[in-house]
Chain A
Amino acid sequence: SQTIHQWPATLVQPVGSPLSLECTVEGTSNPNLYWYRQAAGRGLQLLFYSVGIGQISSEVPQNLSASRPQDRQFILSSKKLLLSDSGFYLCAWSPQVGQAFFGQGTRLTVV
């Protein structure tokens, strides 16, 4: 069966520090991969999505970047965090056709 792993669950980082959140998927190949951010009490904002290795689409201009070094690995990064980067970050995967499956999320607090 397919599983998705996202870590860490919580993270507190100072302003100006770098960020790296990792997401891996098991049990499938060539998945679509997504990074979303969710502010408290709000909806899910699509940040990046990828339909294949090295193929990254950015949805909104921001202080973040994404990379897909392997078929089932999706990394969210920042060189220098801002206070406004705080939020709940969710990784998800989907087959080419069908629903998306989400990880448990990372609660990022920038202080």
Chain B
Amino acid sequence: GESVGLHLPTLSVQEGDNSIINCAYSNSASDYFIWYKQESGKGPQFIIDIRSNMDKRQGQRVTVLLNKTVKHLSLQIAATQPGDSAVYFCARRSQGGKLIFGQGTELSVKP
């Protein structure tokens, strides 16, 4: 079936360390993946995306890795800061254009 799930519901890291948030998906019929950040009481904000013809994409302090063989997506945040504390969602665009989200990982950054 179509589902996007996350390995860990919570992640706690020390300020300055790197964070890795993982996501697994079950349906390979998708050509586009997105990571979102959601702060409490707000709508999700776009972080970075990747198309299925790529396996890595880098942004400012963030990197997304896509492994289509094992249907795994990860978000790496370098030098994590307190402002990075939020819930992170992976999402996949499925057939017909709908966007399916995973359950989310709550990232907590300790000063």
The answer to whether B97 and A51 have CB atoms under 8 Å apart is: yes
Contact string against A for B residues 19-37, beta-carbon threshold 8 Å, 1 for contact and 0 otherwise: 0000000000000101000
Chain B binder among A62-70, A71-79, A102-110? A102-110
- A99-B46, A104-B43 known; A44-B89 Cβ under 8 A: yes
A32, A59, A103, most chain B CB atoms within 10 A:
A32
Smallest Cβ distance from B105 to chain A, in angstroms? 10
A44 and B44 contact, Cβ closer than 8 Å, known pairs A99-B34, A99-B49, A100-B34:
yes
A43-B102 Cα distance, complex, nearest whole Å? 6
B76-111 CB contacts (< 8 Å) to partner A:
89, 91, 96-104
Instruction: Check if B97 sits within 8 Å of A43, measured CB to CB.
Output: no
Contacts A/B (CB < 8 Å), 10 sampled: A32-B97, A36-B101, A43-B89, A43-B102, A44-B101, A92-B43, A92-B99, A100-B91, A101-B46, A105-B42
Beyond the given pairs A102-B45, A103-B43, 19 more chain A to chain B contacts, judged by CB atoms under 8 angstroms and listed by A's residue number, are A43-B89, A43-B103, A43-B104, A46-B99, A46-B101, A49-B98, A49-B99, A51-B96, A57-B96, A90-B43, A92-B43, A92-B99, A94-B99, A97-B32, A99-B49, A100-B46, A105-B41, A105-B42, A107-B41
